[in-house]
Structure 1
Amino acid sequence: MSDSRTKFYLDPQNGKWKGVCAGIADYVGIEVLWVRLAVAGLMIVGQQWWILLAYFVMAWIVEPKPSALYHDRADQKFWQGVRANPTRSTTEVRAKFRDLDRRLADIELHYTSRNSSLAKEIDSLR
């Protein structure tokens, strides 16, 4: 896949205007409503009017998210976790592989050990 899953994209499918807030929400893995409320709150209550300029610049510069970037919701959550904390993500992947390796070693030990009842079952299936 040529599209980077860790890159920031606009999300016009889930966005209201250009998808900037939806893109930020997708990138950090939070609900888009909270991003919209934070932007509106900073602009109105905090008098941070530069956010409006930043919004337009981002809408102009950033490219939209490809439609087939994620395979499913679990894939999307995984990549949001990678963006949030890459070290934790690699640790989780290593732990899953260690668990799979341990389980495969247990299966191999079970089949290669001298288990007479298992040998009888296998012979009865032939």
Structure 2
Amino acid sequence: MTRMEPIYRSPNPHKLYRNTAEGKLGGVCAGIADYLNVDSWIIRLAVVLGFFFFSPVVLVGYAVLWWILKPRPRNLYETKEEEVFWRSVATKPDQTLAGLKAKFREMDRVLGRIEGYVASKEYDLHRQFRDLERK
């Protein structure tokens, strides 16, 4: 499966998919485990226990999820850092927002220093020397 063009791609690729690569029966439990970032045996155990107590609900629910959920694309994330970022957005949005604010503050500080240098007389003097060297 090829990746979608960036303009059509969802900004957050961290969604619920069936993980057929790691799944045993349709990949529903593996997909839920992947989405929740837990081991798949935990979800499988919950489904088996749920089957003993609520078998019709679990059977119908599993079948519906198998039918509704799309298979997980192979290259869902471009890099490991992108995967970590989007998982943190889904699981810890407050911490992710705080981290982004800190990064933007740092970028603003660096850009302010650059702007101060470009607007300074020192920059103008260096530019004039560079122009003289070219002649």
TM-score, normalised to structure 2's length? Answer: 0.64
**Structure 1 pair 78–48 and aligned structure 2 pair: CA distance change class (3 A):** farther
**Which residue is 2:5 aligned to?**
none
Residues of 1 paired with 2:47 and 2:120: CA distance?
A: 67
Secondary structure of the 1:119 match is helix
Residues of 1 paired with 2:84 and 2:27: CA distance?
A: 19
Tell me which of 63, 76, 91 is aligned to 1:84.
91
- Paired residue type of 1:35: S
8 A Cα contact 1:10 1:63, kept in partner: yes
Tell me which of 19, 23, 39 is aligned to 1:11.
19
Residues of 1 paired with 2:98 and 2:44: CA distance?
A: 34
8 A Cα contact 1:12 1:64, kept in partner: yes
**Which residue is 1:36 aligned to?**
41
**Which residue is 1:25 aligned to?**
33
8 A Cα contact 1:42 1:48, kept in partner: no
Q: Which stretches in structure 1 are left out of the alignment for 5+ residues?
A: none
Q: How does 1:115-126 map to 2 (within 5 A)?
A: 115=122, 119=126, 123=130, 126=134
Which segment drifts farther, 54-63 or 102-111?
Answer: 54-63
Residues of 2 paired with 1:26 and 1:125: CA distance?
A: 60
Aligned residues: 121
What is the alpha-carbon root mean square deviation over aligned residues?
A: 3.4
**Structure 1 pair 35–13 and aligned structure 2 pair: CA distance change class (3 A):** closer
8 A Cα contact 2:29 2:43, kept in partner: no
- Paired residue type of 1:61: I
TM-score, normalised to structure 1's length? Answer: 0.67
**Which residue is 2:78 aligned to?**
71
Q: Deviations over 1:59-111 (max 9, x none)?
A: 22222123343212221221111111333323322221221111111122234
Residues of 2 paired with 1:80 and 1:89: CA distance?
A: 10
Tell me which of 116, 123, 127 is aligned to 1:109.
116
**Which residue is 1:95 aligned to?**
102
Identity %: 32
8 A Cα contact 2:13 2:86, kept in partner: yes
